Amino acid sequence: MSNPDSTAVSFSSVSRVFGEVRAVDNVSFDVGEGEFFSMLGPSGSGKTTCLRLIAGFEQPDAGRILVHGRNVEGVPPYERDVNTVFQDYALFPHMTVYENVAYGLMIRKVPSAERRRRAEEMLEMVKLAGMGERKPSQLSGGQRQRVALARALINHPSVLLLDEPLGALDLKLREQMQDELKSLQRRVGITFIYVTHDQGEALAMSDRLAVFNHGRIEQIGAPGEIYEHPATAFVAGFVGVSNLCEGALAQRLAGSTRPFAIRPEKISMLPASGAAPDGAVTVLGKVSAATYLGSTTRFVVALEGGGELTVVRQNSGGSLSVTPGDGVRLCWSRALMQPLQGPAK
Amino acid sequence: MRSDGKPRASWSLRAAALAGMAFLHVPLFFIILYAFSVEEKSFVFPLPGLTTKWFAVAFQREDIRAALGLSVRVALMSTAIAIVLGTLAAAAVWRSRFFGRESISLLLILPIALPGIITGISLRSAYNLMDIPFSFWTIVIGHATFCIVVVYNNVLARLRRSAPGMIEASMDLGANGFQTFRYVILPHMATALLAGGMLAFALSFDEVIVTTFTAGQQTTLPIWMLSELVRPRERPVTNVVAVFVIAVTLVPILIAFYLTRDTHEAAGSGK
């Protein structure tokens, strides 16, 4: 870390083309030192290619990538101060857990006593103390994931790249590992760049996230910002659930044909005869479906004059009981509507 | 082997299996049995008597020793060539996608599918055309053609089974190309290489057909046995040598089988 610049990784107008496909298309972003930065998007959106560009497994066709202020063009992966936790973990099957973790140190010719000490420290940190002599094939998925993490972190990289590291784990373990990863990142203070297609994961863990679609970044921001103020229809639909309104429906509800998004949980449901608060947007409709989801219930409401909206309500008890066929009045504060760029999809 | 959870085989199936095993192994049993026969002119049954003197006789004979020496040297050299070329070919076919990749794969495997007589005749014509005199090396080249295949198959199967990210992971952790090969690829392939090498050695050691066309006046052990069958003199000596060949080829094959067991690899694929 010779450069005191507070930017860990910087992309300026980076493109990577595979044949006809622009996998990464003119992407620019900066990741701050010590930040937990997520790249979120559906498969094929270019997020993993961006990660591989940082690691050095791919070279950009255009644009410039800086890692701690240093242009990494042409620098091979083994000369970059960056380590990766691979999606399939890519542990070395013929080595023990200890040898796997110490591999980076062995390559850099760290004396064997120090190697062992640091590997044991690392294994302890990822809660695998005493597992050093096992082979990767004797570990569970979650344990392998931790070995991959320890193997990368032992080198004290300036940036740690994580490629869907929790993708192969079951839901409970995934949630537990999310918390562990987040607290580990705070403890070691290393910049994490995290690739995922799971919007919940990205929202829960990141300081900031970039939403990718078709090789481009649709929006970059803090989780709250992305969720509350999606910039495009894609972000509104991919991160959480949104009602997307455009054209005549938007005109009728908001007084303008400009498309907008409204989150289902922001919509209040009143009896048809009830009065909406002053200044609120309001519309009458008829419940066409109700789905009980445990903590919440999801209603689909067919609006008078066409169109429908999804409404989600907490099952906290005491509120209006609604069944399909009932007439209701929906209303929401104008400020909760999120105007979108471009057409709704 | 895996009878658990499956219905028991019917009696007729078992009988057929036993008959098949007998058909394959009874001749071997008689070869071994006649190595101990006191009758040296012809094979008679039952044996008039048992003796172990032929082992001593075989050990003393200069022609057997020379043939054995040639066979071992040829097998070692063919195996060495096969390990280098077979591994390189497997690595190329695995790592890169190039024009004609599938054809190269087929061409590599072809020598083992072709009748040995075709390989033999074509090599012999090639040697004649190029004015290459028969030597140790002409036999080695002939054997290498089919030895490469077993190494190639074993190594390729191992490579295909390995996590694709392993090499990238090694580079990511700071290892350059050579270190990655030394610490990750080579150890990962070690048992596949050993198994392939063992099989290649065994194949070369008992090869007759290709050798007939590429050896000229030289005599490898199998060729010696063939010539010995025509002129009956101390017949059990031939059987003693056969027992020896069985042992030398069976042991490597068993080791190769052991090294690649529990994997779905192509240890025995080929001949």
For the residues B137-143, what does the mean pLDDT come to?
92
- Distance, in Å, from the CA atom of A35 to the CA atom of A190, rounded to the nearest integer, reads 8
Residue B118 has pLDDT above 80, yes or no: yes
pLDDT at B4: 54
Q: What is the dihedral of CA A63, A67, A70, A76, to 10 degrees?
A: -80
CB within 8 Å of chain B, chain A residues 44-73: 55-57
Test A107 with B173 for CB contact under 8 angstroms: yes
Mean pLDDT of chain A: 89
Residue B173 has its nearest CB partner, among A56, A93, A104, at A104
ipTM of the complex: 0.81
Identify the band that residue B270 occupies on the pLDDT scale cut at 50, 70 and 90. very low
Residue A30 has pLDDT above 60, yes or no: yes
Structure tokens at A76: 């091979």
pLDDT in tens, A154-184: 999 999 999 998 887 888 888 888 888 898 8
Question: Which of A88, A92, A156 to substitute to test the interface with B, most B CBs within 10 Å?
Answer: A92
For the residues B221-242, what does the mean pLDDT come to?
82
Identify the band that residue A302 occupies on the pLDDT scale cut at 50, 70 and 90. very high
Test B169 with A92 for CB contact under 8 angstroms: yes
Identify the band that residue A97 occupies on the pLDDT scale cut at 50, 70 and 90. very high
| CB B188 within 8 Å of CB A92 | yes
For the residues B184-211, what does the mean pLDDT come to?
89
**Which CATH fold topology does B58-259 show?**
MetI-like fold (1.10.3720)
With b for 16 or more beta-carbon neighbours within 10 A and e for fewer, the A125-148 pattern comes to bbebeebbeeebeebeebbbbbbb
Q: Which residue has the higher pLDDT, A275 or A78?
A: A78
Structure tokens at B193: 């290489």
Residue A213 has pLDDT above 90, yes or no: yes
Max mean pLDDT range (A14-18, A171-175, B111-115, B238-242): A14-18
| CB A33 within 8 Å of CB A191 | yes
Identify the band that residue A318 occupies on the pLDDT scale cut at 50, 70 and 90. low
Cβ contacts below 8 Å, chain A against chain B, sum to 70
For the residues B222-237, what does the mean pLDDT come to?
80
What sections of chain B are H helices per DSSP? 11-34, 53-60, 62-95, 101-113, 116-129, 136-161, 165-172, 177-180, 186-205, 209-214, 221-230, 235-259
pLDDT in tens, A227-286: 999 999 999 989 988 898 888 888 888 888 888 999 999 998 888 888 878 878 888 999
Structure tokens at A153: 């972190």
pTM of the model: 0.76
Residue B264 has pLDDT above 50, yes or no: no
